[in-house]
């Protein structure tokens, strides 16, 4: 009876901590006003993405030869493109694709990055050496060219693109998580867990990881930004998914109408930039909020 | 570390060739317009009927010798197509690099002199904004504003046909200006951020306190002690960003039709010349690694501790 009681109490501890932290978390995050604005923009984009069908005034795919290359006006807020498609509607639908790719790629990268970093940092030794060599290689080689070749050969469906971006950007997360594991595993509570005979999986997941995951969370926000940029660049080079038009694809289309329609080029780029800035400043805000001690220095 | 990385890159290419759906020869030959005899020859020379490890050896050997095959898209050996394009890319990248080095460090120094002042906030904010903009979009905006609307610069290419002597040099510079600015701008922003944080980090060190305590004037403290020491972290960052230069160059060359490797890559994507893409990957990887080695040497030059080891 008593063991069951202490067991459940132990389980409750992290949850309680999380709730206590979350209040302080928001209080600290709020201090970074720019990060709050960034979060606001991302929430706005999120609504654009979810409610695209309700918000977009036109069908983003339907061509209308009668309204080609119209400048921004009341009926076409951001003008129309070479085929008479409404730019604003195309951007709203593009938000869906670009954000989705950003989030999924960053999630894939976070999962791999945390797993490799945890294993590498916890076990050390030969395994660590091999994994760190792999990380080093990924950090030096021009990965954009690798992504590009794979997408060119295996096709540019968004699933391919997301998987490949995620599979190539994890090393930075790994480095951060590994460093945290190296310092945390020397702490007393870990020694205590080892001495009562806890399994490795328990120590890694329940003891160390909750303390080592913060840099990975901050990094994930930055990686959403970089994944959105990478995908835009791929689409811009013609390696996007024609069925899932992203912001970058709109810029590729705009290359052909630059001479006659500046609005085709200007507006999609503003959305990409806003999204990237926002995720970057959210990263800063998370850093301030999750590392209260770092800020004091 | 440099040589194993080149080897890994070649093995990655080999793996992709064999994982790709269909006949591996499809990737090794840009199949548009290649005569069947050539395809058979590649199949034989690459040993595509031999066991996989033998194929790997043959492939690695050929790549290391720079034998990337023949491109029927360009009717030239792949290597000479590449060789003809490297110069233009280097010219663009080097100019952009000089611009960003000068601007980035000056801006970073200016903003770290009085942190959190109006000037600093202005520089920090604008560098964050510039850093977050896709550089090809910046290029497009430059092109629309300065070429199409103001007519100040040419919209594409590198040379004007018929120009000779000093005139042709001026022509190239005139074509070069906008793409180099567009490419240099985002790296300027990142360099500015790193310079600023590097200097602020150094200014917190104890030896700065010592310098001030022994009565150095603020100029000496800032330039002789803080800036010089922060150069170390700047050189490290420069090394890590080498690959970003190539990525950026591909995109900018696409916008301005600059006849370098980037434009070649763009054209090869459309021609589905996979062999060319792989050759570009290998060459860019080697150049990136060389750039990193160069940064290591520069690091040793600015850090006497490493030199004397």
pLDDT at A60 over 90: no
What CA–CA distance (Å, rounded) separates B44 from A47? 57
Of A42-46, A184-188, B115-119, B143-147, give the range with the top mean pLDDT. A42-46
**Does B19 have pLDDT greater than 50?**
yes
- Average pLDDT of chain A is 86
**pLDDT confidence band for A8 (50 / 70 / 90):** very low
In a domain, A45, yes or no: no
Chain B contacts of A156, Cβ < 8 Å? Answer: none
The answer to whether A229 faces chain B, any CB pair under 8 Å, is yes
Percent of chain B exceeding pLDDT 70 equals 97
Which pLDDT score, from 0 to 100, does residue A287 have? 87
Enumerate residues 6+ apart whose C-beta is below 8 A from B294: B239
A251 vs B20: CB contact, 8 Å cut-off? Answer: no
Q: Does A276 touch chain B (CB under 8 A)?
A: yes
Does residue A103 belong to the interface with chain B, where contact is any CB pair within 8 Å? Answer: no
Interface-testing mutation among A222, A228, A233, with chain B (most B C-beta atoms within 10 A) = A233
pLDDT band at A266 (very low <50, low <70, confident <90, very high): very high
Predicted confidence band of residue A1 (pLDDT cuts 50, 70, 90):
very low
- Residue A85 backbone phi and psi in degrees, to 5: -85, 145
Chain B neighbors of A276, CB-CB under 8 A: 132-134
Asked if A100 and A194 count as a contact pair (C-beta separation under 8 A), the reply is no
**Cβ contacts of B284 on chain A, cutoff 8 Å:** 142, 145
Q: What is the mean pLDDT of residues B44-54?
A: 83
Which of A99-108, A285-294, B3-12, B271-280 has the highest average model confidence (pLDDT)? A99-108
The pLDDT of B265-271, averaged and rounded, is 90
What angle (nearest 5°) sits at the alpha carbon of residue B235, between those of residues B229 and B237?
Answer: 115
Q: Which of B20, B132, B255 sits opposite A154 (nearest CB)?
A: B20
| Cβ-based contacts of B205 with chain A (< 8 Å) | none
Beta carbons of B270 and A238 less than 8 Å apart: yes
Q: Specify the pLDDT at position A295.
A: 43
Identify all chain B residues contacting A236, using CB atoms and an 8 Å cutoff. Answer: 134, 136, 251, 254
Q: Out of B20, B247, B289, name the one closest to residue A153 (CB).
A: B20
Best residue in A129, A148, A153, A280 to probe B by mutation, most B CBs within 10 Å? Answer: A153
Does residue A18 lie in a domain region? no
Interchain proximity B132–A150, CB inside 8 Å: no
Kindly indicate the confidence band of residue A9, based on its pLDDT and cuts at 50, 70 and 90.
very low
Q: Which residues contact A234 (CB under 8 A, 6 or more apart)?
A: A147, A148, A151, A156, A161, A240, A248
Q: How far is it, in rounded angstroms, from Cα B247 to Cα A273?
A: 18
Report the distance separating Cα B90 and Cα A239, nearest Å: 25
Give me the domain span that covers residue A170. 50-295
In a domain, A21, yes or no: no
How high is the mean pLDDT of chain B?
A: 88
- In b/e form, how buried is each residue of B39-66, taking b as 16+ CB within 10 angstroms? beebbeebebeeeeeebbebbbeebeee
Question: How high is the pLDDT of residue A47?
Answer: 94
Q: Is A239 on the interface with B (CB under 8 A)?
A: yes
Q: Is there a domain that residue A247 lies in?
A: yes
A273:B246 CB<8 A: no
Nearest-5° Cα angle at B267, B261 to B272: 120
Give the pLDDT score at A3.
Answer: 41
Residue A277 contacts B, CB cutoff 8 Å: yes
The answer on pLDDT for A10 being more than 90 is: no
Question: B243: distance to nearest CA of chain A, Å?
Answer: 5
Q: From the candidates A79, A151, A152, which should be mutated to test the interface with B, based on the most B CB atoms within 10 A?
A: A152
Contact map slice: A 130-149 vs B, CB within 8 A? 136-137, 139-146, 148-149
Residue B136 has pLDDT above 50, yes or no: yes
Q: What is the CATH number of the domain that holds A275?
A: 1.10.3720.10
Strand, coil or helix: A23: helix
Min Cα distance A50 → chain B (Å) is 24
Q: What is the value of ipTM here, to two decimals?
A: 0.91
Exposure of B134 in the CB half-sphere (CA atoms within 13 A):
37
For residue A27, being part of any structural domain is answered with no
pLDDT at B195 over 80: yes
pLDDT reported for residue B170? 83
pLDDT at residue A164 greater than cutoff 90: yes
Return the pLDDT at A257: 86
List of chain B residues whose C-beta atoms are within 8 Å of the C-beta of residue A240: none
Whether residue A81 lies inside any domain: the answer is yes
Domain count, chain A: 1
Return the closest-CA partner of residue A240 out of A116, A143, A98: A98
pLDDT at B271: 86
Determine which of B15, B137, B193 to mutate to test the interface with A (most A C-beta atoms within 10 Å). B137
On chain A, the residues whose CB falls within 8 A of the CB of B148 are 258-259
In A, minimum Cα distance to B136 occurs at A233
Asked whether residue A2 is domain-assigned, the answer is no
Residue A141 to residue B285, Cβ atoms within 8 A? yes
A160: CB partners within 8 A, 6+ apart = A150, A151, A154
Tell me whether residues B251 and A237 touch, CB distance under 8 A: yes
Q: Do A142 and B8 touch (CB under 8 A)?
A: no
Chain A residues touching B142 at Cβ < 8 A: none
**A287 inside domain:** yes
pLDDT tens per residue across span B220-253: 888 888 888 888 888 888 888 889 999 999 999 9
Once rounded to an integer, what is the mean pLDDT over residues B157-168?
Answer: 74
Half-sphere exposure of A291 (CA within 13 A, CB side): 18
- Pick from B27, B161, B292, B158: nearest CA to A142: B292
Cβ distance of B250 and A251 shorter than 8 Å: no
- Residue A39 has a pLDDT of 95
Q: Which of A116, A119, A133 is nearest to A185 (CA)?
A: A119
Maximal CA-CA distance, chain A? 79
Q: Are B243 and A140 in contact (CB < 8 Å)?
A: yes
């Amino acid at each position: 009876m008593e063991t069951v009681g202490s067991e459940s109490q132990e389980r409750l501890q992290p949850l309680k901590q999380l709730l206590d932290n979350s209040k302080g978390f928001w209080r600290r995050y709020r201090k970074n006003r720019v990060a709050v604005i960034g979060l606001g923009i991302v929430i706005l984009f999120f609504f654009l993405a979810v409610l695209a069908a309700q918000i977009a005034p036109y069908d983003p795919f339907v061509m209308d030869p009668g309204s080609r290359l119209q400048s921004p006006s009341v009926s076409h807020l951001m003008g129309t493109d070479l085929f008479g498609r409404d730019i604003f509607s195309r951007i709203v639908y593009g938000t869906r694709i670009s954000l989705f790719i950003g989030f999924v790629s960053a999630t894939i990268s976070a999962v791999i990055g945390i797993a490799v970093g945890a294993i590498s940092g916890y076990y050390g030794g030969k395994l660590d050496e091999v994994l760190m060599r792999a990380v080093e290689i990924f950090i030096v080689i021009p990965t954009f060219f690798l992504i590009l070749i794979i997408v060119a050969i295996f096709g540019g469906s968004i699933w391919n693109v997301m998987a490949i971006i995620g599979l190539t950007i994890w090393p930075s997360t790994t480095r951060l998580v590994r460093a945290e594991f190296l310092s945390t595993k020397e702490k007393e509570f870990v020694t205590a867990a080892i001495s009562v005979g806890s399994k490795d999986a328990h120590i890694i997941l329940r003891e160390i990881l909750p303390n080592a995951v913060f840099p990975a969370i901050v990094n994930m926000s930055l990686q959403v930004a970089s994944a959105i940029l990478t995908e835009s660049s791929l689409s811009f080079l013609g390696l996007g998914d024609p069925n899932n038009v992203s912001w970058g694809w709109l810029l590729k289309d705009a290359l052909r109408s630059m001479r006659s329609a500046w609005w085709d080029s200007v507006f999609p780029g503003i959305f990409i930039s806003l999204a990237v800035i926002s995720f970057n400043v959210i990263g800063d805000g998370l850093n301030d909020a999750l590392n209260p001690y770092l800020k004091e220095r | 570390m440099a040589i194993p990385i080149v080897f890994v890159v070649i093995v990655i290419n080999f793996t992709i060739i064999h994982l790709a759906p269909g006949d591996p020869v499809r990737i090794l030959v840009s199949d548009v317009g290649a005569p069947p005899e050539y395809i058979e020859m590649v199949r034989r020379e690459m040993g595509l009927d031999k066991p996989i490890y033998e194929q790997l050896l043959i492939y690695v050997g050929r790549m290391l010798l720079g034998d990337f095959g023949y491109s029927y898209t360009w009717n030239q050996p792949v290597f000479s197509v590449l060789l003809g394009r490297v110069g233009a890319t280097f010219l663009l990248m080097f100019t952009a690099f000089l611009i960003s080095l000068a601007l980035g460090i000056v801006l970073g120094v200016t903003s770290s002199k009085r942190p959190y002042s109006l000037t600093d906030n202005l520089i920090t904010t604008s560098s964050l904004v510039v850093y977050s903009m896709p550089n090809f979009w910046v290029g497009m905006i430059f092109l629309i504003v300065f070429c199409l609307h103001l007519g100040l610069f040419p919209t594409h290419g590198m040379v004007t046909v018929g120009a000779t002597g000093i005139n042709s040099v001026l022509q190239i510079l005139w074509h070069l200006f906008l793409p180099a600015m567009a490419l240099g701008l985002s790296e300027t922003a990142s360099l500015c951020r790193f310079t600023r944080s590097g200097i602020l980090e150094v200014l917190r060190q104890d030896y700065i306190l010592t310098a001030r305590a022994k009565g150095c004037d603020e100029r000496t403290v800032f330039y002789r002690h803080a800036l010089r020491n922060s150069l170390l972290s700047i050189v490290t960052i420069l090394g890590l960003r080498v690959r970003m230069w190539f990525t950026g160059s591909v995109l900018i060359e696409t916008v301005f039709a600059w006849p370098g490797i980037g434009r070649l890559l763009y054209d090869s994507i459309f021609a589905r010349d996979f062999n060319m893409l792989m050759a570009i990957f290998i060459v860019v990887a080697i150049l990136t690694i060389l750039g990193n080695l160069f940064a290591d040497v520069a690091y040793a030059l600015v850090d006497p501790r490493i030199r004397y080891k």
